[in-house]
């Protein structure tokens, strides 16, 4: 399918005359190899990436921008095979969200020998040309401190839902959240349990917490994927006063902020990140050199009213906060921050 | 005294389940709270539906590996139709029609074309997994809002969830069909010996197709209840976990996998056992990695125990 | 007695001819698939890519050969993929605690055989259904792997341990000659030993085999142990390939193996099939899967295609066989 569209595109370009034919001379081929494709975040990420490829290709007549993403479906064997095959195809830039960075060291060398720019995603790699990270610990700390401030010094019980045991992103987020919560005395972590990025499991855990800790005030999670099922079960069980603290910046979760169920979220937004990848690949292709370890800009999201309350209760003023309308807009429209216009 | 063996087996699982419940109560008093009991009753419904469908398949001497991933697909079919039309009824009808069609297909493959059931249903597992991601536009989530989903997911009648009552009603119905109708007797006869069943003039093919249609319908119901409870659907839910839990429930409930033997009551107690275990492992904060070890061991042990009980019954009978 | 024997020979010869035809068709399909993918992608034919292809299906070659033995007896083993993860865990943990690669190899093999012997005991001795028992060990072995790894991967840098799965001579991964060696050894076992004859006999008819004095029970146990041993070997290769032990290694490997074996013309009802067919089946299936990866096909579409291939092959086999007997 994709090949057909590509050939069709090429044919069209030739048909449109000499200018277009010249345009095909400078090409930017980007491959994004991800560990999965099922989580809502992945879906938004890959969608943003594909949309951005099309937008950049259209916006810049002098470069032919192409790209594709591959999912390793959680298997390291598959990811290594996909990487080997991809290196063999010699794209210009490879984004690799490695399941295990150590296993990819030899492949980085191979790719660089072929002149491919290797960008390590989320888990930094010393040998990679660039590492795009998220600042998970800082983000988590912001989430935890927001909880401290919004609990207004009253006794407050929270359950924290974790990622899969041993997953680096999950561990960093957990570390940050606990660090943020530790900045006050009134918030007590009554339970911590991994939900393995699995929504059904998250719902079962939330339901069991409601019966086990009748005074539970809030659920905090390392991904918004946990928020959907937990909010559903809370609403269905009549536990409408439970607060939720999310992570990821999924649009449907940010939308739940105005009604007071979701209190805080971290604006990664898969869509934004997908657009950012293409923008950065384009910049690098044009000769720019970003920092070797590049932290993606991920602000905390609150409602304006809650931000005011939080500031009154000791929330640090220097933490950058996006309010809901702004967060929703940039989350949905990755091109606002990272589109072709931002480069021109 | 074959009845004694059967009785013993059923009593075993009742005793074990109650004993376990008591142990968990002593460890964590909240275990026996009304809230927790009702949480368990809600959590076991999808597993219970899949177990019931699997029960008839296994008693007839086959297996259906597509039930778990199937229920994920049906949840998404419901979501897609709901998303497209905004109507719940259309979605429910679509799930029922499509699931019956898939069951019919499986049944024809197994009964008429004599393909091995596990291969047919294994391929259906992958087909369902693929379709579950392909039929949602760009794999995004679909939210299920509205009275029906709240009713199925959360409303109670006299303190019991409607979904649980539905499950119990279905088990009662299955009990009557299994024990007091000719169709039930046919299922057992086929499981005991297909050739004898044929010689006795039973339309084996038709009964088999019916069994697979029923099991697929059960996975359709499981999908409806799963999605209502979640309030949204997305591909990538853990269908194989459901499949394993369902099989574990009926084997623990004393269904002999060689076919021809098993009781609905036993299956129900097996289901409660699995529900209690899942809930307790969770309440006691047992690390998730142990769950699979535990389930694999329990299934193997139950397989062995059923075999031994069956052997001793053979000896008694002689 | 004599008449049965000659009858048996007669049918065997006939079915072999059918298998030859099958192999020719498979070779034809392999050529067509290769040409097709090389037209879609310039790099497909490059030596490098063939090396990548062969290395990526090395493990599938091994477990599929084990699966061939099992399916020849009329059984099935759903636990192979989990077993690869479990034996990998045992091997890697032994290696990291003792520092001895040899001990790591041995314990990985033993661990694979351990799961295999559980299958063998329940399926062979207790005569319980193979899919049910191996479904239980599928959960058990994966769970044990998760427990041993604590759901985390363990990095391995022991050069000896990584050699088999990781090293290449030029564009030729060392694992390929190794697979060829295993193929030769297993062919001798299957075609030249009493055990091999017992495997075919057990599949053709368990009761007849019993009457003829062959012990299908013991044969069945050993067939599953063999499959477990091959899973252990595969674990070593997998660890070498990804230079670490992974709790989720080998996911859905059993499914790929079943498809490849059936594609290679082995009858699901036992008693009919050869290892050569399995090798061709793995090659064809590997090229298709590799091609799907290469063209960046949607993963969900890949699942769908895999399911349809399996169903289609079984359906075709059954229909053509029925056509012949009728």
* Tens place of pLDDT per residue across chain A (344 aa): 444 444 444 444 444 433 444 445 799 999 999 988 887 888 889 989 999 999 999 999 999 999 989 988 888 888 998 898 889 889 999 999 998 888 898 899 999 999 999 999 998 899 999 999 999 999 999 999 999 999 998 999 999 999 877 778 888 999 999 999 999 999 999 999 888 888 888 998 999 899 889 899 999 999 999 999 999 999 888 888 999 999 999 998 999 998 889 999 999 999 999 999 999 999 999 999 999 999 999 999 999 999 999 999 999 999 999 999 999 999 989 999 999 998 87
Identify the structural domains of chain A with CATH numbers, from first to last: 2-133+271-297 (3.40.50.2300), 136-267+300-329 (3.40.50.2300)
User: Rounded to 5 degrees, what angle do the CA atoms B12, B4, B208 make?
Assistant: 85
Nearest to C300 among B133, B288, B289 (CB): B133
For residues C246 and C85, is the Cβ–Cβ distance under 8 A? yes
Q: Among the ranges A6-10, A252-256, B282-286, C179-183, which has the highest mean pLDDT value?
A: C179-183
- The residues that bridge with A118 in the sheet, in sequence order, are A94
Question: A100 to chain C: nearest residue by CA?
Answer: C153
Phi/psi at A120 (5° precision):
-80, 135
Please name the chains neighbouring C, where neighbouring means 3+ C-beta pairs under 8 angstroms: A, B
Tokens linked to C135: 């479904």
Task: For residue A103, give the DSSP letter.
Answer: G
What are the pLDDT digits (tens) for C205-229?
666 666 566 678 889 999 999 999 9
Task: For residue A33, give the DSSP letter.
Answer: E
Length of chain A: 344
**Segment C103-120 mean pLDDT:** 97
Q: Which residues contact A181 (CB under 8 A, 6 or more apart)?
A: A144, A147, A148, A158, A187, A189
**CA of C270 to nearest chain A CA: how many angstroms apart?**
31
Nearest to A232 among B36, B230, B236 (CB): B230
What are the pLDDT digits (tens) for B117-136?
989 999 999 999 999 989 98
Residues of A with CB below 8 A from B71's CB?
Answer: none
A207 lies within 8 A of chain B by CB: yes
CB pairs under 8 A between A and C: 74
Give the CA distances from residue C53 to residues C48, C248, C284, in Å, rounded to whole numbers and listed in that order. 9, 21, 11
Q: Is A269 exposed, middle or buried (0-12, 13-18, 19+ CB in 10 A)?
A: buried
For residues C59 and C285, is the Cβ–Cβ distance under 8 A? no
List residues of chain A with CB under 8 Å from any CB of chain C: 2-3, 37, 68-71, 73-78, 80-82, 84-85, 88-89, 99-100, 102-103, 164-166
**CA of B159 to nearest chain A CA: how many angstroms apart?**
12
**CA of B161 to nearest chain C CA: how many angstroms apart?**
31
Lowest mean pLDDT among B90-99, C45-54, C228-237: C45-54
User: Rounded to 5 degrees, what angle do the CA atoms C298, C303, C305 make?
Assistant: 90
Q: Where are the domains of chain C?
A: 53-296
For residues B120 and C311, is the Cβ–Cβ distance under 8 A? yes
% of chain C surpassing 70 pLDDT: 87
- Cross-chain Cβ contact B63/C138 below 8 Å: no
Give the CA distances from residue C37 to residues B104, C46, C283, in Å, rounded to whole numbers and listed in that order. 36, 12, 14
Residues of A with CB below 8 A from C40's CB?
Answer: 3
Nearest to B289 among C140, C151, C319 (CB): C151
**CA of C152 to nearest chain A CA: how many angstroms apart?**
5
Whole-number mean pLDDT of chain C?
86
For residues A256 and A230, is the Cβ–Cβ distance under 8 A? no
Please name the chains neighbouring A, where neighbouring means 3+ C-beta pairs under 8 angstroms: B, C
Regarding the domain delimited by C53-296, which CATH topology (the fold level of the hierarchy) does it fall under? Answer: ABC transporter involved in vitamin B12 uptake, BtuC (1.10.3470)
- Cross-chain Cβ contact A200/B226 below 8 Å: yes
Which has the closest alpha carbon to A104: C145, C164, C153, C235? C153
**CA of B55 to nearest chain A CA: how many angstroms apart?**
24
Q: Which residues contact C135 (CB under 8 A, 6 or more apart)?
A: B244, B247, B299, C78, C79
Residues of A with CB below 8 A from B133's CB?
Answer: 37-38
- Cross-chain Cβ contact A38/B282 below 8 Å: no
B110 lies within 8 A of chain C by CB: no
Task: Give residue A9's pLDDT.
Answer: 43
Rounded distance, CA A266 to CA B57, Å? 48
pLDDT beyond 60 at B1? no
- Cross-chain Cβ contact B122/C255 below 8 Å: yes
Nearest to A81 among C40, C56, C295 (CB): C56
**CA of A294 to nearest chain C CA: how many angstroms apart?**
26
Task: Give residue A81's pLDDT.
Answer: 86
What are the pLDDT digits (tens) for B131-141?
998 998 776 78
**CA of C249 to nearest chain B CA: how many angstroms apart?**
15
- Cross-chain Cβ contact A2/C48 below 8 Å: no
Question: A37 to chain C: nearest residue by CA?
Answer: C299
Task: Give residue C207's pLDDT.
Answer: 60
- Cross-chain Cβ contact A84/C52 below 8 Å: yes
CATH of the domain at B105: 1.10.3470
**CA of A311 to nearest chain C CA: how many angstroms apart?**
40
Residues of A with CB below 8 A from B28's CB?
Answer: 212
Residues of C with CB below 8 A from A37's CB?
Answer: 299
C192 CA to centre of own chain: 21
Q: Does the ipTM surpass 0.95?
A: no
pLDDT beyond 90 at B146? no
Domain that includes residue B263, residue range: 2-317
Task: Give residue C37's pLDDT.
Answer: 74
**Segment B9-32 mean pLDDT:** 76
Number of domains in chain B: 1
pLDDT beyond 70 at B313? no
Residues of B with CB below 8 A from A229's CB?
Answer: 230-232
Rounded distance, CA C206 to CA C214, Å? 9
Query: C168 or B69: which carries more pLDDT confidence?
Result: B69
Rounded distance, CA A8 to CA C60, Å? 37
% of chain C surpassing 90 pLDDT: 55
What are the pLDDT digits (tens) for C16-32?
567 788 898 899 998 88
């Amino acid at each position: 399918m994709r090949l057909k569209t590509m050939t069709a595109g090429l044919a069209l370009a030739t048909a449109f005359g000499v200018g277009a034919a010249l345009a095909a001379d400078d090409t930017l081929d980007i491959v994004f190899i991800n560990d999965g494709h099922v989580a809502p975040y992945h879906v938004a990420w890959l969608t943003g990436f594909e949309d951005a490829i099309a937008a950049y290709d259209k916006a810049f007549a002098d470069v032919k921008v192409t790209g594709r993403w591959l999912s390793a479906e959680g298997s390291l064997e598959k990811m290594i095979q996909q990487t080997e095959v991809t290196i063999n195809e010699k794209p210009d830039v490879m984004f690799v969200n490695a399941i295990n960075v150590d296993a990819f060291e030899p492949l980085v060398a191979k790719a660089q020998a072929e002149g491919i720019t290797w960008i390590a995603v989320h888990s930094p790699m010393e040998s990679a040309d660039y590492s795009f990270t998220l600042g998970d610990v800082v983000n988590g700390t912001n989430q935890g401190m927001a909880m401290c401030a919004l609990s207004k010094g009253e006794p407050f019980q929270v359950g924290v839902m974790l990622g899969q045991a041993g997953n680096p992103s999950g561990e960093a987020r957990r570390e940050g959240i606990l660090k943020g919560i530790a900045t006050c005395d009134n918030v007590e972590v009554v339970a911590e349990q991994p939900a393995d990025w699995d929504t059904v499991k998250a719902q079962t855990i939330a339901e069991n917490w409601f019966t086990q800790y009748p005074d539970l005030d809030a659920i905090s999670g390392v991904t918004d994927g946990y928020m959907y099922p937990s909010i559903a079960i809370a609403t269905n069980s009549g536990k409408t006063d439970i607060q939720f603290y999310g992570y990821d910046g999924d649009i449907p979760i940010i939308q739940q902020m105005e009604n007071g169920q979701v209190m805080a979220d971290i604006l990664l937004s898969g869509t934004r990140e997908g657009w950012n990848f293409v923008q950065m690949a384009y910049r690098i292709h044009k000769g720019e050199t970003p920092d070797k370890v590049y932290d993606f800009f991920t602000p905390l999201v609150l409602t304006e009213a809650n931000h005011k309350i939080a500031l009154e209760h000791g929330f640090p003023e220097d933490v950058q906060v996006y309010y809901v309308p702004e967060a929703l807009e940039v989350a949905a429209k990755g091109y606002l921050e990272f589109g072709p216009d931002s480069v021109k | 005294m074959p009845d004694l063996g059967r009785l013993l087996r059923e009593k075993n699982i009742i005793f074990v389940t109650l004993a376990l419940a008591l142990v968990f109560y002593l460890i964590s008093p909240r275990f026996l709270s009304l809230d927790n009991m009702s949480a368990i009753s809600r959590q076991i419904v999808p597993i219970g539906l899949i177990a019931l469908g699997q029960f008839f398949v296994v008693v007839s001497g086959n297996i259906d590996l597509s039930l778990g991933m199937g229920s994920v697909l049906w949840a998404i079919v419901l979501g897609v139709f709901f998303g497209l039309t905004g109507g719940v009824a259309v979605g429910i009808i679509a799930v029922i029609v499509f699931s019956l069609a898939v069951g019919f297909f499986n049944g024809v493959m197994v009964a008429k074309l004599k393909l091995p059931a596990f291969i047919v249903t294994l391929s259906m597992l992958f087909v369902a997994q693929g379709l579950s991601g392909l039929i949602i536009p760009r794999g995004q989530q679909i939210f299920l809002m509205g009275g029906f989903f709240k009713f199925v997911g959360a409303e109670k009648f006299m303190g019991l969830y409607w979904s649980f009552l539905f499950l119990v009603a279905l088990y009662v119905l299955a009990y009557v069909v299994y024990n007091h109708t000719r169709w039930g007797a046919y299922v057992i006869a086929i499981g005991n010996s297909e050739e004898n069943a044929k010689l006795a003039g039973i339309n084996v093919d038709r009964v088999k197709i019916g069994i697979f249609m029923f099991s697929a319908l059960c996975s359709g119901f499981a999908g409806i209840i799963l999605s209502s409870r979640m309030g949204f659907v997305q591909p990538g839910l853990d269908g194989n976990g459901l499949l394993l839990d369902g099989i574990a429930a009926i084997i623990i409930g004393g269904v002999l996998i060689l076919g021809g033997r098993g009781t609905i009551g036993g299956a129900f107690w097996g289901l409660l056992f699995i529900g209690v275990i899942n809930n307790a492992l969770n309440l006691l904060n047992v690390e998730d990695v142990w769950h699979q070890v535990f389930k694999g061991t329990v299934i193997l042990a139950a397989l062995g125990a059923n075999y031994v009980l069956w052997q001793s019954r053979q000896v008694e009978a002689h | 007695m004599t008449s049965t024997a000659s009858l048996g020979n007669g049918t065997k010869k006939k079915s072999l001819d059918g298998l030859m035809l099958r192999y020719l068709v498979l070779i034809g399909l392999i050529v067509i698939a290769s040409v097709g993918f090389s037209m879609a992608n310039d790099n497909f034919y490059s030596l490098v890519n063939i090396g990548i292809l062969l290395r990526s299906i090395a493990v599938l070659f091994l477990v599929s050969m084990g699966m061939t033995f099992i399916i020849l007896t009329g059984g099935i083993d759903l636990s192979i993929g989990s077993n690869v993860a479990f034996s990998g865990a045992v091997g890697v943990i032994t290696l990291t605690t003792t520092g001895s690669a040899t001990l790591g190899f041995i314990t990985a093999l033993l661990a694979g055989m351990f799961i295999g012997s559980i299958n063998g005991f329940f399926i062979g001795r207790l005569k319980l259904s193979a899919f049910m028992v191996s479904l239980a060990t599928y959960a058990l072995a994966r769970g044990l792997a998760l427990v041993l790894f604590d759901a985390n991967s363990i990095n391995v840098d022991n050069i000896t341990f990584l050699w088999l799965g990781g090293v290449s001579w030029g564009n030729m991964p060392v694992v390929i000659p190794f697979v060829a060696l295993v193929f030769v050894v297993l062919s001798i076992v299957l075609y030249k030993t009493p055990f091999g004859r017992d495997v075919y006999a057990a599949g053709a008819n368990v009761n007849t085999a019993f009457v003829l004095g062959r012990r299908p029970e013991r044969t069945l146990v050993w067939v599953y142990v063999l499959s477990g041993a091959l899973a252990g070997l595969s674990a070593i290769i997998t660890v070498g390939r990804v230079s670490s032990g992974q709790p989720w290694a080998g996911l859905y490997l059993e499914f790929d193996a079943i498809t490849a074996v059936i594609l290679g013309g082995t009858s699901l009802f036992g008693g009919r099939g050869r290892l050569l067919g399995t090798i061709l089946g793995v090659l064809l299936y590997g090229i298709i899967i590799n091609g799907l990866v290469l063209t960046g096909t949607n993963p969900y579409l890949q699942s769908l295609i895999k399911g349809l291939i399996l169903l289609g092959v079984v359906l075709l086999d059954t229909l053509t066989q029925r056509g012949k007997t009728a």
